[in-house]
Amino acid sequence: MASQLTVLTPADIQRFERDGYVVVRQAFSPADALAMERQWWRELEGTYGIRRDDRCSWRQIPGDLKAAKRDPIQDRILTGRVRGVLDDLLGKAAWLPPRDWGRPLVTFPEPGAWEVPARLWHWDNPCELHLDHPRGLFVVSFIGPVAPGGGGTVIISGSPRLLVQQERRLPPGRPREFGARLWERFHRCDPWLMALTGQAPSPATRIAAFMDTETTVDGVPLRVAELTGEPGDIVFCHPVMVHCAAPNRGTRPRFMRIKTQVLTHEGRDLRSALERPRSWPQAAGNVRVPASALSPARLPPQAGVEWPPESPEPRRTRSSAQDRPARRSPPHPRGPLPPARPFALNTPSLAARLPPGLQTRPPRHVPAAAGYGKFPRPGPDRHPR
């Protein structure tokens, strides 16, 4: 992180390193956020018939808003204040502005009591990129106001420290794990996490057990936090923050954007090095990672992995006509077909390029001048059947 802070305070940096996230109020203009919200409502009405002033039309939509994902108005999120926060957390001139600010998420309110979710706890980025320091950020932007219980994303405060700590302890040469298998291993590493993620019986009051008090897992304090805010607020999280979607039990829809990763230049290079072995034809779950793509703390000395392998699988080449046996078609039940007549081209320029033996006259039923650039309609005298 930068030694000279521009927007954040030393207390903010300590909170980010301990809990894995920092909240910046009015990171961009609330007026711009509300303008984006109005654009989202227009798309909801035009695409799904959901009107802002008609609560009877409110319902959950399939997927995300397409036009909002590409709307150029989102460029207003990258203000000088947001640039300063990115410089403080990632380093000045160490990152590139993202092409967009992530998925536009809309969650309409539903009846019922709000409760801490028990399913779909996950993270979106590999830990290998951020073993010694974060090389990117997980960014949550508030387009509309989100109150407690109003559908805001819930996170596990402190989870990035625990994930990185567990990743460093893995033995060298261990095959990489992806997706649900990796999440399952994390969920089962402690009874508190098992109860939170539905792997064990849940306590009677989940809010008191997981949100009101902290618990320590492997020396790291953990607690479930709900992200709430006003238009223009942004939450900057560690890239491997464990999070989950939450139900909306409020009175208005939840309008938020989530950018899963804003990578540094170094992070982009390491991500390319990590993803390269996945395209190599190996068994699923046995992907080897180049040692240059990992932190020195992850691997012991002289633990390099050669890439590509010394003796890869020989590439299959197409055999020549001399190596292949002659193919013989089965005899036709009606006997041999008559020889096909050459196709008549109507385009003089194309016909002139053909060898003399293939240059044929235009079809009888289409004059050459009138049929320039057109092909005759196939008939019984044109193609044998």
Give yes or no for residue 311 having a pLDDT over 70: no
Question: Would you state the pLDDT for residue 286?
Answer: 40
- Better-scored residue on pLDDT, 156 or 168: 156
* Predicted TM-score of the model (pTM): 0.71
Report the pLDDT value the prediction gives residue 329, as an integer from 0 to 100: 61
Partners of 262 in the β-ladder: 137
Check if the beta carbon of residue 288 is closer than 8 Å to that of residue 277: yes
Q: Which of 118, 207, 115, 216 is nearest to 165 (CA)?
A: 216
pLDDT of residue 368: 46
End-to-end C-alpha distance for the chain, whole angstroms: 75
Share of the chain above pLDDT 70, in %: 69
pLDDT digits over 47-105, tens only?
999 999 999 999 999 989 999 999 999 999 999 999 999 999 999 989 999 999 999 99
pLDDT value, residue 355: 60
Is 354 a residue whose pLDDT tops 70? no
How much is the pLDDT for 101? Answer: 96
Residue 19 has pLDDT above 80, yes or no: yes
Percent of the chain with pLDDT strictly greater than 90: 58
10-280: CATH, from 2.60.120.620, 2.40.50.100, 2.40.33.10, 2.40.160.40: 2.60.120.620
365 burial via Cβ count (<10 Å: 0-12, 13-18, 19+): exposed
Q: Which two tokens stand for residue 121?
A: 């706890």
Q: What is the number of other CB atoms lying within 10 angstroms of the CB of residue 214?
A: 12
Mean pLDDT of 338-358: 56
CB-CB contact of 346 with 368 (8 Å): yes
Lowest mean pLDDT among 120-134, 146-160, 177-191, 265-279: 265-279
Flag the least confident range among 84-98, 199-213, 290-304.
290-304
pLDDT (tens digit, 9 = 90+) per residue, 232-283? Answer: 999 999 999 999 999 999 999 999 999 999 999 999 988 888 776 544 444 3
What is the pLDDT at residue 1? 52
Tokens of 218: 């492997």
| The pair of three-digit structure tokens given for residue 186, joined into one six-digit string | 């994390």
* pLDDT value, residue 273: 82
- pLDDT, residue 275, reads 74
pLDDT bucket at 323, cuts 50 / 70 / 90: low
Task: Please check the confidence at residue 291 and state whether its pLDDT lies above 70.
Answer: no
In the Cβ-directed half-sphere of 310, how many Cα atoms lie within 13 Å?
A: 1
pLDDT at 294 over 70: no
What value does the mean pLDDT of the chain take?
80
pLDDT at 228 over 80: yes
Reply yes or no on whether the pLDDT at 385 is more than 60.
no
